[in-house]
Amino acid sequence: MSKPKAANGLARHGTYVTSLSLRDVRCFSEAQTLSLADEAGSPARWTIILGENGVGKTTLLQVLAMACGARYERYIYESWREYEEGPRPPLDFARGREERGFVHAMLSTATGSRQVEFTIAGDAPRPEWAEVPRPLVCGYGAGRRIGATRFSRRHRHSKVKYGSLFVDAPLVNAEEWLLGEDYAAAKEGKAGGPAARRLERLKELLTRILPEVDDVRVGEPRRHWEPSVEFKTPYGWVALDALSLGYQSLIAWMVDLAASMFDRHEKHREPLAEPAVVLVDEIDLHLHPKWQRDIIAFLTERFPNAQFVATAHSPLVVQAAEDANVVLLKRDGDHVVIENNPADVRSWRIDQILTSDLYGLPTARPPWLDELIAERRSILTKATLSVSDQRRLRLLENRIGELPGGESPEEQRAMSLILRAAKGLPKRPARKPR
């Protein structure tokens, strides 16, 4: 029997975030509120955070992780120390010379709304979680990478599900996890056991999201007499470490997210359909434009009760975010403001989105063409054109006129045919005045 859903499609028994307010936290000096709710006030399934580099997009994800119950000091540094040596990296959150920053979050739970308030003194938050059901929070920083551990390591999957948002902490070793599930499924000795189900779900997940990958298997030992995970591509079976960085990056956090869901919801029949809050920095990282357009729809389908909060730079992600909550961060003097309701551009063309307030480009044309158009405009403003001006103007108009006018190759060829035909038409004589 399926569990009841809220109006937004998310599970009623889940814990999600509806808003985050902060003050004196890094670039956010004045009180700012990030809305994570839809028009009805329910938790938005998707929130896409846009903004230039350095305006606090990653900071918002980090503070969201804390608001969802991330044990910042202990677990994040444990995650870092598990793989690195030396002093811990500095993580200062209070703004400038302020002694502390202030955070307030509203959570939606099965029993109603709850609030979480805490201060960040330097780099140590002191949240209070006593009465708030903690969601599973998984975070993925822009430097996300597959862990390099092997079977000899003590911990197969770190307790920390958000470490890479804060420090250079590797994710679960995707190959090791798949090999471990394959071994566990073989030991079960029967089809349909827990490990076999997990393995099949993850194989299906990867073959659905990875373009031109039709299957995943455990291949013969390649080196050091160890088996390896291979992916079936148009070029044959390819080992994970031989795939492109785009494939490896996507596999890294897909396997890590699935492993986290399996760990947290191991007693549920459909662990990937259980609630979670997933924070992804630069979700379009290393993704081909085709992947950028499909990533939101795919993740919504495969993780139907997860609340995703992601930062992005690609207009393709914005265009594909049909029902997403889009937020824009803007620098205003020495601080950043959060604009929760920017213009709805999801039905616009990419060039229109790029020249909207979301991205602020003056044009979607290449810079060299803008220079030609500016020069042409400058010549035309002269009261009298010299012979040299007229010659230069003809050259500029020829170069500008050669550019394709259609949006697709078919439209461009049609426009070119029309222009060639028009040049062959006889000129109509000017009408004589009556």
Tell me the mean pLDDT in the region 135-156: 68
User: What DSSP state is assigned to residue 206?
Assistant: H
Kindly state whether residues 94 and 163 are assigned to the same domain.
Answer: yes
- The residue among 312, 331, 354 that closes a domain is 354
Say if 140 falls within a structural domain.
Answer: yes
263 lies in a domain? no
CATH of the domain at 109: 3.40.50.300
What is residue 196's three-state secondary structure?
helix
For residue 275, pLDDT over 80 is answered with: yes
Confidence of residue 410 (pLDDT cuts 50, 70, 90): low
Number of Cβ within 10 Å of residue 258's Cβ equals 23
pLDDT of residue 225: 65
**One domain for residues 406 and 335:** no
Higher pLDDT, 396 or 71: 396
Shared domain check, 67 and 39: yes
Q: Are residues 52 and 118 in the same domain?
A: yes
- Is residue 153 pLDDT above 50, yes or no? no
Total number of domains in the chain: 2
Judge whether 386 lies within some domain: yes
- Which of 300, 323, 354 is at the close of a domain? 354
C-alpha separations of 21 from 32, 41, 276 in Å: 6, 16, 21
Which pLDDT does position 304 carry in this prediction?
94
In a shared domain, residues 87 and 122: yes
- The three-state secondary structure class of 223 is strand
**Per-residue pLDDT, 429:** 57
Q: Strand pairing partners for 179?
A: none
pTM for this prediction: 0.80
| C-alpha to C-alpha distances, 207 to 211, 212, 233, 425, nearest whole angstrom | 8, 8, 10, 55
Measure the CA–CA gap between 431 and 419, rounded to whole angstroms: 24
In tens, the pLDDT along 56-103 reads 999 999 999 888 876 554 444 444 444 445 445 556 676 666 667 888
Contact 168, 84 (CB under 8 A): yes
Band the pLDDT of 125: cuts 50, 70, 90. low
> What single-letter amino acid sits at 5?
K
CA distance 215 to 268: 26
pLDDT value, residue 356? 81
The number of CA neighbours under 13 Å toward the Cβ of 264 is: 22
Write down the number of H helices and E strands in the chain: 11, 14
- Cα torsion angle, 232, 237, 241, 242, sign: negative
The sheet with strand 226-233 has its strands ordered as: 215-223, 226-233, 236-239
**Structural domain for 405, as ranges:** 367-421
Strands 16-23 and 32-35: antiparallel
- Does a structural domain hold residue 390? yes
Is residue 147 within 8 Å of residue 160, measured between CB atoms?
A: no
Nearest to 316 by CA among 284, 344, 343, 338: 284
- The pLDDT value recorded for residue 432 is 55
Q: Is 269 helix (H, G, I), strand (E, B) or coil?
A: coil
Greatest alpha-carbon pair distance for the chain in Å reads 99
Tracing tokens 């608001």 back to the chain, one arrives at 67
65 within a domain of the structure (yes/no) = yes
- Kindly state whether residues 291 and 149 are assigned to the same domain: yes
Which residue, of 333, 354, 375, is where some domain finishes?
A: 354
CB-side exposure of 237: number of CA atoms within 13 Å?
10
122 and 77 co-located in one domain: yes
My answer on whether 285 and 350 are in the same domain is yes
